[in-house]
C-alpha cells in the first residue's frame, strides 16, 4: 500500500514537472499581462512608463466618444460581412474537396496557401488589385471605383480580402469533420433513394455541425479582433479611415501613436467583453443546431 502511494505521489510530481513550463508560460505571457491591462484601464499614463489611478475616467471618456462607438460598429459590421459568407464558402469548398476529383490534393494545398503567406504580403497584393487608377479589377470592370477610399465600401473591400485569406484554413478544418462521417450513412441514404442534396442537409450538415461550430467561434473572434489587414490596406491619410477603423486599430493608435495606454487598455477590456458576450451567445444557441450524437 505504501509502495503504491509512493508511486502515485511520484507520478503526480512528474506530472506537475511536465506541465510546469506550460503553466508558467500561461501565467507570464497571458494571465499576468491581462491583469496588468485591467489595472491600466483604470489608470492614466504618466511619464517614464508610470501610471496614476484615475478610477472610471477612461471608461467614461471611452463611452462618450463618437469615434469609439464608430470603431465598435465597424468591428461588428466587419464580423457580419465576413463570418456568414466566409463559413458558407468554406463549407462549400470542403464538400467539393471531399468529392472524388482529380488533383484534389493539389487543390487543398492551393486553398490553404493564403494561410501560409504573411498577412502583410496578402494585404499589399490585394491593395494593388483594388487600386483605383491601375488595379486589375477596375481594368476589367472599366470603371474607376474607389475601393479603398470610398467610406461606403472600404470595409466591404477589406472583408473580401479577409474571406479569401481564411477560407482555405476553415475549409481544411471542415474537411476533416466531413471525412470523419461514416460512409455507411451515405450508403443507407442512397439505398433509400436520397439525393446528394438531401444527403448533405440530413447527414453531412448535422454530422459536421460540431466542427462548424468551432470554425464559427474562431472566425467570430478573429473578425472582432481584426487589425493587421485594415492597417495594411487603409493608410493613415486615407479619407475613409474612420469608416474602416476597428477597435484593435483604435487601440493601436491610442497606445502606440498617442501614448495613451490607459485609455487603450480600456478599449482592450471592452473588446474582450464583446468577444465574451458573442461567444456566450454562440454557446447558448448551439443546443438548437449542433449535433454531438455519433
Grade residue 275 by pLDDT with cuts at 50, 70 and 90.
very high
Residue 186 neighbours by CB distance under 10 Å: 15
Q: In this predicted structure, what is the pLDDT of residue 87? A: 95
State yes or no: pLDDT of 144 exceeds 70.
yes
Secondary element (H or E) of residue 51: strand 51-53
Per residue in 221-260, pLDDT (tens digit) is 999 999 989 999 998 888 899 999 999 999 999 998 888 8
Under 8 Å between Cβ of 78 and 223 = yes
Q: Which of 53-62, 102-111, 112-121 has the highest mean pLDDT?
A: 53-62
Q: What's the mean pLDDT in 50-56? A: 85
Q: In this predicted structure, what is the pLDDT of residue 6? A: 62
* Angle, vertex CA 253, rays to CA 44 and CA 258, nearest 5: 45
DSSP symbols for 269-288: HHHHHHHHHHHHHHHHHGGG
Grade residue 294 by pLDDT with cuts at 50, 70 and 90.
low
Query: Average per-residue pLDDT in the chain?
Result: 88
Q: What's the mean pLDDT in 91-99? A: 88
Q: What's the mean pLDDT in 67-71? A: 96
Look up cell 461567444; give the residue.
Answer: 279
Under 8 Å between Cβ of 148 and 238 = yes
Give the pTM.
0.88
Per residue in 183-224, pLDDT (tens digit) is 888 888 888 888 888 988 888 999 999 999 999 999 999 999
How far apart are alpha carbons 49 and 101 in whole angstroms? 59
Residue 43 neighbours by CB distance under 10 Å: 20
Q: In this predicted structure, what is the pLDDT of residue 292? A: 77
Amino acid at each position: 500500500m505504501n509502495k503504491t502511494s509512493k508511486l502515485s505521489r511520484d507520478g503526480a510530481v512528474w506530472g506537475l514537472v511536465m506541465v510546469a513550463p506550460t503553466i508558467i508560460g500561461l501565467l507570464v505571457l497571458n494571465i499576468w499581462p491581462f491583469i496588468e491591462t485591467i489595472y491600466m484601464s483604470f489608470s492614466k499614463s504618466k511619464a517614464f512608463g508610470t501610471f496614476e489611478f484615475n478610477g472610471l475616467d477612461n471608461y467614461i471618456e471611452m463611452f462618450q466618444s463618437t469615434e469609439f462607438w464608430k470603431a465598435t460598429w465597424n468591428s461588428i459590421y466587419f464580423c457580419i460581412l465576413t463570418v456568414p459568407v466566409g463559413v458558407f464558402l468554406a463549407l462549400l469548398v470542403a464538400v467539393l474537396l471531399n468529392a472524388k476529383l482529380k488533383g484534389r490534393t493539389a487543390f487543398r494545398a492551393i486553398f490553404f496557401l493564403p494561410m501560409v503567406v504573411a498577412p502583410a504580403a496578402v494585404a499589399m497584393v490585394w491593395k494593388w488589385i483594388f487600386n483605383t487608377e491601375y488595379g486589375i479589377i477596375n481594368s476589367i470592370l472599366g470603371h474607376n471605383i474607389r475601393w479603398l477610399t470610398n467610406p461606403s465600401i472600404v470595409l466591404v473591400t477589406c472583408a473580401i480580402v479577409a474571406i479569401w485569406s481564411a477560407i482555405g484554413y476553415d475549409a481544411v478544418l471542415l474537411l476533416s469533420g466531413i471525412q470523419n462521417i461514416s460512409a455507411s450513412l451515405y450508403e443507407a441514404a442512397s439505398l433509400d433513394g436520397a439525393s446528394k442534396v438531401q444527403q448533405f442537409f440530413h447527414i453531412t450538415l448535422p454530422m459536421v455541425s460540431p466542427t462548424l461550430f468551432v470554425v464559427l467561434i474562431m472566425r467570430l473572434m478573429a473578425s472582432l479582433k481584426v487589425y493587421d489587414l485594415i492597417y495594411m490596406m487603409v493608410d493613415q491619410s486615407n479619407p475613409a479611415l474612420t469608416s474602416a477603423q476597428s477597435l484593435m486599430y483604435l487601440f493601436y493608435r491610442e497606445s502606440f501613436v498617442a501614448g495613451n495606454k490607459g485609455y487603450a487598455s480600456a478599449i482592450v477590456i471592452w473588446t474582450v467583453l464583446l468577444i465574451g458576450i458573442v461567444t456566450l451567445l454562440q454557446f447558448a444557441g448551439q443546443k438548437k443546431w449542433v449535433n454531438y450524437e455519433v
